[in-house]
Structure 1
């Protein structure tokens, strides 16, 4: 009967008392060696052993009350972000500003005057993805993790950078400087964490500024590729090719086909794996400068940047 009244084995002490279990009995059963365990103040798991992530979520929601909404990485993951939650990742909850519940143990409570309308997945109240992503970003101190998370959100959740910017401007200004800068990068064309780093690295080359993520066609209008960076004046492409995406099947075959189209069209190409952007920045800069100069020394092939006039 007790388990049936619980949420996946998680229940509050007042609920147990209403079912005929005195408070003293509930707390006694949570002592070492006894059959239950305390998750949070006033919240009990009706078994021993390591709680599941879902049981931790249920406990956090019971601790914070009916108005609580899950935000941050947990919300993003349950809406499609392909990123594992660490075992020590706190459960980040939003609560109306007038409530006094405090953060405790694994629960991070954020009180706000801008409570979103939740979306529900598998019975859990979640902050909408744009809010959840930015709530997490505001807790991250450095550019690389913010850049990675925002790029993944754009790619995997289909979020519009303009929508993210609007959400950022509407909410609290606390912790927004880094995500604001990264969103400006994304608005300029970066669609991966590596591309954001690449944009900064390109500026060290002293070469003319390229365009990012524009289609290139041959002289007959046939599609060639959408390079990460493109220097139209010399028909030079730079691709940031991650092993995970480009060198797994079927990504490997697609990359080969793309490179063959570049070669057939006479386009100069440099490929860089993301790890080299940070581990060997000077070497990458040298590669880009050398390739650009070589491209400039040969006749430009008759390829066209989509959307550009002759």
Structure 2
């Protein structure tokens, strides 16, 4: 082969689609110099260079997956490194949500940019469609189609940071929760970490999200009772002392055993500081919430506290907790008489 003979991709013997996207360092391992790679990327040549130091070994437009791999390889490159890879980088934002399978996200091939999370200490600029997002706290990545991707809650926060349309934000948050990809509390925590809760497109979306999370948690609670052989409770009732004060509402109540279940689906609302309320207001609300539980327990009512995450990940285990409370009722002192009203 003479010096002027083009190096066709087939001479590299790279059958894997993954290896159709390589860095300059990886090409050198195959015996291809930077100068030869640049020659292959000339106008009309068999290769292309979509990002600095990253090559796609075919002439047509890169696929959505190839764009992802090229962005990750670009973010993972380090000057002077002998080996090339993704490093600590991971896809986030809309690209990660597409990998997670959310349907309200545009196809990978049509995304104008691909967000890649890297450590804050990396000195790397965004280039073309590869958008570098620096962070002091890298989440643990998930492997999707062999690619590192941020968890859904983190990817949502990074996506929302670049969105101005409240309808789009609401649809993304709702689909993530309704599809079981993550819990509302996790989303609210990530939005709070990113200081996004006060943005107008986010405020209404979070309210809708919490309502969606509440409904989903209630459905899981119904499923737990009916599939795990628990006796049917009274659903969504208020408790009062006869002629006395309101004791509070509970999600399920077994009057013969004086056992109540309360969902913690409302907890994320207390962490939302974007509506202008001071932290002291939230502390007061939490104090009232705890006082209600303590009052019920002083009256002999056992309050079982369940979270949406536990119902999702350990349904049978949570059913055992409730069953144990019901069985222990006979060993306790009789509870005070309470009036039960529909909520």
Instruction: Provide TM-score, normalisation by structure 1.
Output: 0.58
Unpaired runs of 5+ residues, structure 1, are 193-214, 216-220, 222-306
Partner of 1:162: 185
Q: CA separation of 1:117/1:15 partners in 2, compared to 1, >3 Å: closer, same or farther?
A: same
Matches for 1:40-79 after TM superposition, within 5 Å: 40-65=51-76, 66-79=87-100
Instruction: Find the partner of 1:39 among 27, 50, 56.
Output: 50
CA distance in 2, matches of 1:308, 1:104: 62
Deviations 1:121-175 (CA, angstroms, capped at 9, x unpaired): 1211010011111211111113111111111111124422122112222x22157
Deviation at 1:87, TM superposition (A): 3.3
Residue 39 of structure 1: how far off its partner (Å): 1.5
Q: Which has the larger radius of gyration?
A: 2
The equivalent of 1:149 in structure 2 is 172
CA contact (8 A) 2:95 2:108 kept: no
Unaligned runs of 5+ in 2: 1-11, 77-86, 216-221, 223-231, 233-339
Cα distance between partner residues in 2 of 1:101 and 1:14: 17
Q: After TM superposition, which residue ranges in structure 1, 4 or more long, deviate above 4 angstroms?
A: 189-192
The alignment of Structure 1 onto Structure 2 pairs a total of residues equal to: 197
2:116 is aligned to 93
- CA pair 88-176 structure 1, distance change in 2 beyond 3 A: farther
Alpha-carbon spacing, 1:308–1:162, altered in 2? closer, same or farther (3 Å) = farther
With over 3 angstroms needed to count, the CA separation of the structure-2 counterparts of 1:155 and 1:24, relative to structure 1, is same
* Offset of residue 26 of structure 1: 0.6
Residues 15-45 of structure 1, C-alpha deviations (whole Å, 9 max, x = no match): 2123221211110110111111111101111
1:130 aligns with 2:153: yes
Quick one: distance in 2 between partners of 1:8 and 1:53?
15
Q: Deviations over 1:98-137 (max 9, x none)?
A: 0011111111111010111001112110100111112111
1:103 aligned onto 2:126: yes
Q: Secondary structure at the match of 2:167?
A: helix
**Equivalent residue runs for 1:281-300 within 5 Å:** none
The answer to whether the Cα contact below 8 Å between 1:2 and 1:19 also exists between their aligned partners in 2 is: no
Q: SS of the counterpart of 2:22?
A: strand
Query: TM-score, normalised to structure 2's length?
Result: 0.52
Q: CA deviation at 1:6?
A: 7.8
Q: 1:21 to 1:133 in 2, by over 3 A?
A: same
Structure 2 CA distance for partners of 1:82 and 1:50, relative to 1, 3 Å: same
Q: Give the direction of change, closer, same or farther, for the CA distance of 1:86–1:26 in structure 2 (3 Å limit).
A: closer
